[in-house]
Amino acid sequence: MSYAIVGFGAVGQALAHAFARKNIDVTVASRQPPEALAPQARAIGPTVVAKSLRDALEADTIILAVPFGEHREVAKALPSWKGKTVIDAMNALVPLEELDGLPSSAFVAKAFTGANFVKGFNHLVAATLAADPIVEGGHRVVFLSSDDEDAIAPVAALAKQLGFAPVKLGKLNEGGALVHARGRAWGQLIFQDLFKKEQ
């Protein structure tokens, strides 16, 4: 599996720390040229490599860590998302009518037609996500949800590799609603920093 993080701000860098901690290769990209991101990528760890957006999107698994409204631009950067796994780490505090009444990730998924689409790694503030997820023998929980049950397994495997305890919530508009903002209100599990004793 190959991994890319699109968006190298607070959340993108937090996730890059998680990959670096486990020596897992990951490319990082934003709208800036890779040279602009390279010093920060190197500072996080040798397995974190800055590339152009186009090159980063060659990865099998792509984590979206851009401002919500920018997902459309990222989606347009590939002619087809078939066969890709897309992990939506974004949050959207926007009126429901702007999302056609859908959970924000279901709205985003429409732009990534054909992808195996999973929401995850979105419920913690970036500083918490950046910290070592293994604390006193417990593993920091990340919540995963998707309308495609089969898409969750490889993302859960990645979360475990990174040291997190993945918890599956089911479909985006079912259990997944707990990690979605609804209009201007946060879902009940957002910001809940939970730990699991056994993975």
Ligand X SMILES: NC(=O)c1ccc[n+]([C@@H]2O[C@H](COP(=O)([O-])OP(=O)(O)OC[C@H]3O[C@@H](n4cnc5c(N)ncnc54)[C@H](OP(=O)(O)O)[C@@H]3O)[C@@H](O)[C@H]2O)c1
Contact (CB, 8 A) for 53 and 65: no
Q: Is 90 in the site for ligand X (CB under 6 A)?
A: yes
Residue 195 CB-density burial (10 A; 0-12 exposed, 13-18 middle, 19+ buried)? middle
Q: Which tokens belong to 27?
A: 């490319």
Q: How far is CA 54 from CA 6, 71, 92, 112, in A?
A: 10, 15, 25, 15
Single out the residue of 32, 161, 192, 199 in contact with ligand X (rule: CB under 6 A).
32
Q: Which one of the spans 7-15, 44-52, 134-142, 168-176 is the region binding ligand X (CB under 6 A)?
A: 7-15
Contacts of 104 (CB under 8 A, 6+ apart): 68, 90, 91, 92, 94, 180, 181
Single out the residue of 5, 66, 141, 179 in contact with ligand X (rule: CB under 6 A).
66
Q: Which tokens belong to 193?
A: 């920093």
Single out the residue of 17, 24, 25, 31 in contact with ligand X (rule: CB under 6 A).
31
Residues forming a β-bridge with 5 = 28, 63
Q: Is 74 in the site for ligand X (CB under 6 A)?
A: yes
**Helix-helix angle 34-44:10-21, to 10 degrees:** 50
Q: Which one of the spans 18-26, 59-67, 133-141, 156-164 is the region binding ligand X (CB under 6 A)?
A: 59-67
Least distance (Å) between residue 31 CB and ligand X: 3
Report the residue number, 23 or 77, with the smaller CB distance to ligand X: 77
Q: Which one of the spans 39-47, 60-68, 106-114, 150-158 is the region binding ligand X (CB under 6 A)?
A: 60-68
Single out the residue of 1, 2, 9, 192 in contact with ligand X (rule: CB under 6 A).
9
Contacts of 166 (CB under 8 A, 6+ apart): 120, 141, 142, 143, 144, 155, 156, 159, 160
Q: Which one of the spans 3-11, 105-113, 134-142, 150-158 is the region binding ligand X (CB under 6 A)?
A: 3-11
Residues forming a β-bridge with 50 = 28
Least distance (Å) between residue 123 CB and ligand X: 7
Report the residue number, 65 or 158, with the smaller CB distance to ligand X: 65
* Residues lying near ligand X in the complex (CB under 6 A): 6-12, 30-32, 53, 65-68, 70, 73-74, 89-91, 122, 125-126
